[in-house]
Structure 1
C-alpha cells in the first residue's frame, strides 16, 4: 500500500483541479477520460468497455486512504464520450456493471480499481440506474454501489452542526440504518476536521477500509459514506489518515452501541423497543422536583447483583426499590467505558450504554420497567473529562479535537484523563446533544452531572504555573459556564419534567439559579438541584465522634441551615463515602454493634427530616459492615435468615422502608424544601445534650416536629416546644428510630402526647417527651 506523503500536492499532476466536494461530488467529472481501445464482447456476455482511467495520482490517494472526495472519482460520471464508471474492489476477480441497457465488464486498472467507459449517455443509466456484479473466487455477488448516492446528511444538518445547535446530533452523525433511493444500507458520518482522509473499516470489509473511503463535506469537518447492504449489528470503526502521516483506528464518538470491553468496535444499532411508560411521562411533565418527594437509591448496576443483565435487573431491581419506598434510582454511569474499575466515570462511548450488561434496547427495557413501578431514573453523566485510550476521543483525528490544544488545559490532573474543550462549538454541541439524547432516547428522568467543580475552575487541582487565567485575569472557566448553561436550558426546554443535578463541591454562586439574567444582572448555571457536599461532610464528621465529644462539634450539624436555601439541595450519602478506606456508613459509627446501628438509624432519621432530597448508596440501607466492592457488590447474605445478625440488618432496612413511607405521606417534609419559611429550629443550641429539634411545615402550615437525641442516654420528661395546632392539641409519634422493630430498645412515646400552654423553644405550647437513646423521633398532630 502506498504510504501517505504530507508533501503530496492537493491537485493532480496534470494540472486539472481536484474533484469537487460535498453534494456535487457525487456527479462531478474528473476532466476528459482517455478511452482505451478494448474490444466489445458479444451481447450474450458482458461487454468489455474501454477503461476510464482517473487523473494521475488519484488511485494512489484512494488506495492510500487520504482522498478527501472519493465520490468524485468512484461511481458513475457522465462524460461526452459516455458514462465513466469506477469501482474500488480489492481482491475482486471481475466487476460487471449491470444497467437497463445491458451488462458491461470493467477493466482492472490497478490496486483493486476497476474502470470502464460505458457507451451510454449520462441520462440513459445515470448515476442511479446500475448495480454491480462482483466476483471473488469464482462466486458472483450482486451489490449496490455506495458511490452513486448523494450525502445522507442534509444541508440543514450541516448548517446546525456548523452553528453548534444540532440538538439531535445522534440522528445526523454516527451510523444510521436507512433506505436511500430504494436501497437499504447504513450511512456513516463522523466529525474529523483535521483528517486527511477517513475510511470505514468493519467486519463487512474484513477490517480493510480500502473499498470504503469517506468523502469530506467541506468546511463542516464531517466525513460521510452510505454503504448499501449494511444493517443492524455490523461492527465498525473509522480509519483516519492524519496530517502527519499516521493511520488511526477510532471507535465512533456517536456510536449508539459498542462491543463488550475489552473489544472496542462500534456497533450499528436500530432500536426496536416499544415503550410502555407514556402515562409516567405525561405525569412527570407536570411535576417539579423541588416541591415533590424525592428519595434516591444510588446503584452501580454491574454490582448490585453481580452477573445480572439489564433485563435480569429489570425483573428484580424495580420491585426491590419500590418495596423500600424510594422514589428514584440514580445509576452510576451506564455509558460505555474501557475500564470497569473506573465505575463508568471514564467514558469512551458517550452515546452507548455499556454492552457489559446487554444491548441499548435491554437498557431501555430496564428504564421502562422502573417507570412502570413508579420509579424515576437518574443517570450519572460525565462531561468533565474522558480517558486517553487510543481507540476513543483522545486526539481523535491526530490532533487535539475534543480536548483543548493547550496541554495545561487539556490534562485533568486528578484522574490522568483529558478535559473537554468547552469553547469549541462542535464539542459543546456533542455534549449538549448527548444530555438530550439520554432523556429523549432512553426516557431518563434526570442527569446527575459529575465533577462540576473541576469544570468551573481553570486552576482546579493545579499548582501555580500549571494554568492560565481567563481573559479577565480570573480563575473561572467561562467556556464551561456557558456550556453548562446551554445544556441545562436545552434539557429543560426539550424534556418536560427532567431534572439536572450538579455534583458541585464549592460555593459557586447560582448553581441552581435560572440561566436567565436576574434583576442583579446575574445568570445561574441552571441546574435543578445540587448535591449538598457541605452537609454530607459536616454531618458525617459529627456522627463519627464519640457521643461524649459531640458537644464540641455541635455546629457541624446546625451549620447547614445557614445556607440551606442558597441552592436547591440533595443530601447525598453516596458511593464516594463508602469506599477507599472511608468505611461503610455503619462502620463509621462509634461504639459497639448496638450503638453503631442506633447511630445509623438516628442519623438517617435526621437526614430524612432535614430540608432537601435524600440519596443513599446501595448496601447502606441494611447497614452492611464492609466497604463497597465493585466486584462483589452489596453483602446480601447479611439479610439471609441463617446469618446470625440478619435481624439487625433487616431492622435497619425496615427503618429505611418506613422513613420513605412516612416521608411521602407528610408533605411538610418535601413540599417547601426550597422555602425558608418551611423550616424553623426549636432548639439548635442544645450542645450539652447532643440534641437537635426543629419543625417542618407544608404549604397549608401543617407541621412535623423532628427531635434527635444523639447521646446514648434516655431523656425523660424532656420539654420540647410545639407549634400551635389548636385547643387540646395532641401529637402522635409517627416514627421512632429506636423502635424494637428496627433493633432498638423500644423507648419512646407510644401514646399521643398532649401539648400544654407552657411556652418553650419560642413556641406558645410544649410537651414533655421521653427521648430514646441515640434516636430520632418524628411527631405530627394527631
Structure 2
C-alpha cells in the first residue's frame, strides 16, 4: 500500500477497519504520514528517568501497549525528525513529537499489531526498523534463577551479546549483570555510540539487565553505558563478550561461531584414555604472538602442530589467549575473560588452531588467570559504580604485586563467572587442560602483605576459605562436565592436598607445578662443577616429597626472562660445557618423576633471554649459520627424549607411585653423579645416570637388579649427533654378580662428561 495522509474517524478493531476520510497523493518525499490521537503525557519522573537512562523498566513506557482508547505507541528516537508506525497492511501512521526524541500516539486498535517504525532524520535519511520495545524478555526464568544462585554452568549462553531469533525476529539479545546500576543502556556503532535510544530493563532482583535489539547481528561493536549509584555514567566493555576489538581499541564485538569441528575422534579418545598422571605428558609452552611473530591463528595452525609433533611433545601450553590490553603482560592481565585475543584473529580462527593441534595428536593446555584483573576503567574494575567483581574491602581487593584487583570469591555471582569461564574454554574451544595461574596468591589472605595489611579469616588463620571453595567448585565442575580435561595449579607453597580429590578435602587439581624442584635443580646446575658437591641435596631433595602431589616439572617462561637468562646461559663454563650441561639437565629432567614442561626456545638452547617483542631466535637453526649443529643437536636431543619417553612405560606408568622409583646412588656428591631406577607397571626398569662433572668416569660401578643379564644404552646426551663428545656405550653392558649400593648385582659404566645416559634391559 502506498503511503497516504489519513485522518481516523472511527475506532476500528483492526487496521483494516480504519476509515480513510482524506486521501492525498503519495508524498514526493516518502516518509511518515498520518496523525493518530495524542496520548497522555508521561509522568515527569518517568520521563526524566527514561531520558537519563535510569528507568528500570523502559518497556513499560516504550513500545505498544493496549489502553482504553486503543493501542498506545511510544518510541524514543533521539535526533529523529519524524517517526511513524507502519502496520502489517502497509498503512503508515505518523506519531506526535513530544520533544527530546520521544514520539507517541494512540491508534484505534484493540490489539497490538506486528508493526515496524519508520524513522526520518533531518538529513532526509529514512529507515524502517523493528521496535526493540515490542518484545517480551528474551532470557528465561530458569536462567535467572541459576544466575542468582551462582550455579549457571553455561553462563555465556545467558549473559553477553547473543545473536538469535526472538518472537520470529532476528537480532541480538544484550544481557549484563550490574546489580548496583541505576540504569544500563546499549551503545554501539549501530547507534553512533549514543545509548539514549536503547535503555535496558532490569529483570527483577537478579541484577541482570536485558534488551533484545532487532536487526543487530554479528560483527557489530558495542558497550554498555552504566549509570552508577552516584548518577555518573561509565561506558564498559561486556564482561561476557565472546569477541573484542583488537587492542588498543576496547569495544566488544557481537559474535556467533560458525566453526565446524573435526576432532570428534580426539575428544572420544581423550574421554576414555589413560588418566593424565598415568600417561606420557610432555609439554611445549608457547607464547602465540611471538612464537613466529606476525602469524595469525590460522597461519600458526599451518606451522605449530607440525613442529610440536615432530619434536614429540604430547601437549602445548598456551600462555593466556584471553583478551588483554597490554601485550607486555603476556596475557596475564585480562580484560576479556571470554574472548580470545583479536590480535591473531577471530574466535573461530582460534578454534581452527586448536582443531589443527588435535588432528596432529597434540593436546592443548591454556593458561587461565582467575587470580586478578586490571584496573582499566572500561573493564571490570568497579563495573557498575561499586566493587562488584573485586572484594569490597580495599585490602582484600588490591593485589600487592601487580597493581591489579583480586576477585571476590565469596560472592556467588563472581564465583559463577569464573567457574563458567573455565567450562567455557573447555566446551566451546575444546581445550584439554587449564593451567591455573598464581594459585598461591588466591589461597592466602596475607600473600605479599605485611602485618596490618590483611585480616585473618573467621578462624584466625591466613587461609582464604572463599578461594578454596571456588577452586574446589571449579575443579569439580570441569572434571564432571569435560571428560579427560586436566587442571594444573601453579602453586608455590606447601599447601596440603592441591591434587587431592575434592571429595577428600583437597583442591581437586590434576597436577601441580613443582616449583621447588625447578628452583633447587637450577641452583645446582648454575654452580661450577667443582662446587656442585656442596649442593648435591638440591637435586635429591625433590624425592623427599615427590609423591605428595601429582607434579609437573616446569622450565617455563618465568625462568628465562627479566635477567634470569635463558636455560643454556645459566650453565657455567665455556660454550661446549654450557650446551653439555643443558643437555644433561634435560636428560635428568625427563627421567625424574613428574611431567615435563619446556618453554619455547629452550628446545634448541637459545642463549638469549626470551622477549615477547621478537620471540625465539629461529635463525640459530638456519643452515647458513656456522654453528647450527650446536642448536640443532639440542633440538634433536629433545626429539629423542620425547620419543624414548613415549616408548618407555617406566617413565610414566607409575609416575605418581613411590614403587615406580628407586635410588641406585643418590649420595655420590663428590662425583656429581645421580643414579636411579624407574619401573613400569610390570616392574621393567630403566636406569638413569647423570654425571654433572666435566670429566669421563671410567668403570663406574652402579648397583642393579640381578634378574637383568645385560643393559643397553637407549639415550646418551653426549652422543655426537646431539653435539656431544661421543663417549657412548657401543655394546650392551653385562650385569655382574657383585652387589653395589644395596642392590644384588652391578654394572660398570663409562660415564660421559656432563651427560645423562639411560639404559634398559637387553
1:381 alignment counterpart: 368
1:79 aligns with 2:67: yes
1:42 aligns with 2:22: yes
Q: Could you tell me whether the CA contact under 8 Å between 1:624 and 1:634 is conserved in 2? A: yes
Q: Give the C-alpha shift of residue 42 in structure 1.
A: 3.3
Comparing 712-721 with 569-578, greater Cα deviation is found at: 712-721
1:253 alignment counterpart: 239
For 1:168, which of 132, 154, 163 is the aligned residue?
154
Q: Could you tell me whether the CA contact under 8 Å between 1:41 and 1:47 is conserved in 2? A: no
1:114 aligns with 2:103: yes
Partner Cα separation in structure 1 for residue 350 and residue 58 of structure 2: 38
Q: Give the C-alpha shift of residue 43 in structure 1.
A: 5.6
Partner Cα separation in structure 2 for residue 509 and residue 376 of structure 1: 28
1:130 alignment counterpart: 115
Q: Give the C-alpha shift of residue 47 in structure 1.
A: 3.2
1:292 aligns with 2:279: yes
2:646 alignment counterpart: 664
- 1:32-431 mapped onto 2 (5 Å cutoff): 42=22, 46-52=33-39, 53-100=41-88, 102-121=91-110, 123=111, 125-126=112-113, 129-136=114-121, 137-287=123-273, 288-431=275-418
1:470 alignment counterpart: 457
Q: Give the C-alpha shift of residue 40 in structure 1.
A: 8.6
Given the two structures, how large is their TM-score scaled by the length of structure 1?
0.93
Q: Structure 1: where are the runs of 5+ without partners? A: 1-38, 518-522
Q: Could you tell me whether the CA contact under 8 Å between 2:338 and 2:421 is conserved in 1? A: yes
Evaluate the alpha carbon distance shift between residue 43 and residue 383 of structure 1 in structure 2; reply closer, same or farther with a 3 A threshold. farther
Q: Give the C-alpha shift of residue 132 in structure 1.
A: 1.2
Partner Cα separation in structure 2 for residue 689 and residue 172 of structure 1: 64
Q: Structure 2: where are the runs of 5+ without partners? A: 1-18, 27-32
For 1:741, which of 721, 726, 729 is the aligned residue?
721
1:562 aligns with 2:534: no
For 2:692, which of 696, 706, 710 is the aligned residue?
710
Cα RMSD for the two superposed structures: 1.1
SS of corresponding position for 2:576: helix
SS of corresponding position for 1:434: helix
Comparing 90-99 with 323-332, greater Cα deviation is found at: 90-99
1:28 alignment counterpart: none
Partner Cα separation in structure 2 for residue 367 and residue 599 of structure 1: 35
Q: Give the C-alpha shift of residue 760 in structure 1.
A: 1.3
SS of corresponding position for 2:235: strand
Q: Could you tell me whether the CA contact under 8 Å between 2:706 and 2:737 is conserved in 1? A: no
Deviations 1:425-482 (A, max 9, x none): 1000000000000000000000000000000000000010000000001000000000
Deviations 1:381-400 (A, max 9, x none): 00000000011000000110
Q: Could you tell me whether the CA contact under 8 Å between 1:336 and 1:350 is conserved in 2? A: yes
Partner Cα separation in structure 2 for residue 90 and residue 335 of structure 1: 36
Comparing 287-296 with 54-63, greater Cα deviation is found at: 54-63
Q: Give the C-alpha shift of residue 67 in structure 1.
A: 1.2
Q: Give the C-alpha shift of residue 94 in structure 1.
A: 1.6
Q: Could you tell me whether the CA contact under 8 Å between 1:40 and 1:48 is conserved in 2? A: no
Partner Cα separation in structure 2 for residue 451 and residue 162 of structure 1: 28
Deviations 1:113-170 (A, max 9, x none): 100111111x2x35xx211111223333111111011111100000000110000000
SS of corresponding position for 1:663: helix
Q: Give the C-alpha shift of residue 305 in structure 1.
A: 0.4
Q: Give the C-alpha shift of residue 750 in structure 1.
A: 1.4
Partner Cα separation in structure 2 for residue 626 and residue 648 of structure 1: 14
Q: Give the C-alpha shift of residue 51 in structure 1.
A: 2.4
2:501 alignment counterpart: 514
Aligned residues: 733
1:439 aligns with 2:426: yes
Partner Cα separation in structure 1 for residue 511 and residue 214 of structure 2: 47
2:30 alignment counterpart: none
SS of corresponding position for 2:448: coil
Q: Could you tell me whether the CA contact under 8 Å between 1:237 and 1:250 is conserved in 2? A: yes
- 1:718-737 mapped onto 2 (5 Å cutoff): 718-726=700-708, 729-737=709-717
For 1:778, which of 750, 755, 758 is the aligned residue?
758
Partner Cα separation in structure 2 for residue 635 and residue 340 of structure 1: 19
Q: Give the C-alpha shift of residue 41 in structure 1.
A: 7.5
Q: Could you tell me whether the CA contact under 8 Å between 1:59 and 1:113 is conserved in 2? A: no
Partner Cα separation in structure 2 for residue 387 and residue 591 of structure 1: 43
1:492 aligns with 2:474: no
Q: Could you tell me whether the CA contact under 8 Å between 1:382 and 1:450 is conserved in 2? A: yes
Q: Could you tell me whether the CA contact under 8 Å between 1:725 and 1:781 is conserved in 2? A: no
SS of corresponding position for 1:624: coil
Partner Cα separation in structure 1 for residue 632 and residue 296 of structure 2: 26
Q: Give the C-alpha shift of residue 511 in structure 1.
A: 0.2
Q: Give the C-alpha shift of residue 97 in structure 1.
A: 0.9
Q: Give the C-alpha shift of residue 595 in structure 1.
A: 0.2
Partner Cα separation in structure 1 for residue 389 and residue 179 of structure 2: 11
2:534 alignment counterpart: 552
SS of corresponding position for 2:73: strand
For 2:735, which of 735, 745, 755 is the aligned residue?
755
SS of corresponding position for 1:48: coil
Partner Cα separation in structure 2 for residue 50 and residue 505 of structure 1: 73
Evaluate the alpha carbon distance shift between residue 41 and residue 756 of structure 1 in structure 2; reply closer, same or farther with a 3 A threshold. farther
Q: Give the C-alpha shift of residue 218 in structure 1.
A: 1.2
Q: Could you tell me whether the CA contact under 8 Å between 2:560 and 2:609 is conserved in 1? A: yes
Given the two structures, how large is their TM-score scaled by the length of structure 2?
0.95
Partner Cα separation in structure 2 for residue 40 and residue 461 of structure 1: 79
Q: Give the C-alpha shift of residue 91 in structure 1.
A: 1.4
Partner Cα separation in structure 1 for residue 175 and residue 706 of structure 2: 67
Q: Could you tell me whether the CA contact under 8 Å between 1:41 and 1:48 is conserved in 2? A: no
Partner Cα separation in structure 2 for residue 746 and residue 762 of structure 1: 31
Q: Could you tell me whether the CA contact under 8 Å between 1:51 and 1:107 is conserved in 2? A: yes
Partner Cα separation in structure 2 for residue 113 and residue 604 of structure 1: 72
SS of corresponding position for 2:54: coil
1:457 aligns with 2:439: no
Evaluate the alpha carbon distance shift between residue 41 and residue 168 of structure 1 in structure 2; reply closer, same or farther with a 3 A threshold. farther
Partner Cα separation in structure 2 for residue 633 and residue 473 of structure 1: 47
SS of corresponding position for 1:550: helix
Comparing 48-57 with 81-90, greater Cα deviation is found at: 48-57
2:7 alignment counterpart: none
Partner Cα separation in structure 2 for residue 708 and residue 598 of structure 1: 12
Partner Cα separation in structure 2 for residue 40 and residue 262 of structure 1: 57
Partner Cα separation in structure 1 for residue 342 and residue 683 of structure 2: 50
Partner Cα separation in structure 2 for residue 597 and residue 654 of structure 1: 13
Partner Cα separation in structure 2 for residue 778 and residue 304 of structure 1: 31
Q: Give the C-alpha shift of residue 723 in structure 1.
A: 2.0
Partner Cα separation in structure 1 for residue 326 and residue 79 of structure 2: 38
